[in-house]
Amino acid sequence: MRKYVFLFMLSLMPLFLSAQNSFRLDTIKVDKNDSRNIHSNQDNSPRYTNEVKPRITQEEQPQLFSGGFDKSKLRFGANIGLSLSRNYTVFGLGPQVGYQFNDYFMAGAGLKYYYTKVRTYDYEIKNNLFGTNVFGYFYPVRFIALFAQPEMNYIWSNLTNRTSGEVTTEKGFVPSFVVGGGLRLGRSHITLNYDLAKNPRSPYPSGFYLGFSTFF
């Protein structure tokens, strides 16, 4: 009897070995949400080795500077003076262009032309002035303005003796450095100014004087 059992077991051995050789772990049926599922846990993200990475467009690049030139911050102003009388005539025009950098500071540059004619009993004086300047306004608080304006002016003047008719001409460059402080009213300024250069031919008074400017 034992002999027949042994022979039966021996005959089943090839079938058993064949089943062992065909056994594979990946053929085991596992739920797709199971952590043991080797197919669902594969990382399908792209790998960049020697391949060229996608180029980042200009719109996607981070902006290093959020500021830049803003046309809405430009400020335009002008100094205009006109006075007419029999013995005294003054005409002045000075366009100014500024840029409002922030709530505390505005700076810019400008040009100006002044013509003055003064007639006395003995003399007639005619002055012409052409100048350039840079300026800055600092606002420590909303309604206070501090002002500085260095400038260079070219002046040519004629002095005529009304009795003899003799004419004396003078010309040359005249520097000025005007500082001031006062009130800020919107985009207008009323300041008490002073010319630190104190040039004898300065177009400004020798002491303090009142100044007014406005920008749009």
List, in order of start, the domains of the chain with CATH numbers: 73-214 (2.40.160)
Q: What is the pTM of this model?
A: 0.63
Q: Give the C-alpha distances (Å, rounded to integers) separating 126 from 1, 129, 156, 169, 202.
A: 149, 10, 8, 10, 15
Distance separating alpha carbons of residues 128 and 154, to the nearest angstrom: 8
Q: Helix/strand/coil (H, E, C) string of 165-213?
A: CCEEEEEEEEEEEEEEEEEEECCEEEEEEEECCCCCCCCCCCCCEEEEE
Q: Look at residue 82 and tell me whether its pLDDT is greater than 70.
A: yes
Q: Look at residue 37 and tell me whether its pLDDT is greater than 70.
A: no
Q: Which residue has the higher pLDDT, 104 or 34?
A: 104
Q: Look at residue 14 and tell me whether its pLDDT is greater than 70.
A: no
Using DSSP, state whether 38 is helix, strand or coil.
Answer: coil
Top-ranked range on mean pLDDT: pick from 15-19, 63-67, 176-180, 212-216: 176-180
Q: Which residue has the higher pLDDT, 38 or 152?
A: 152
Q: Look at residue 190 and tell me whether its pLDDT is greater than 80.
A: yes
Q: Which residue has the higher pLDDT, 46 or 156?
A: 156
Judge whether 99 and 109 are in contact, CB under 8 Å. Answer: no
Name the pLDDT band for 201 (thresholds 50, 70, 90). confident
Q: Look at residue 4 and tell me whether its pLDDT is greater than 80.
A: no
What's the pLDDT score for residue 206?
A: 86
What's the pLDDT score for residue 189?
A: 94
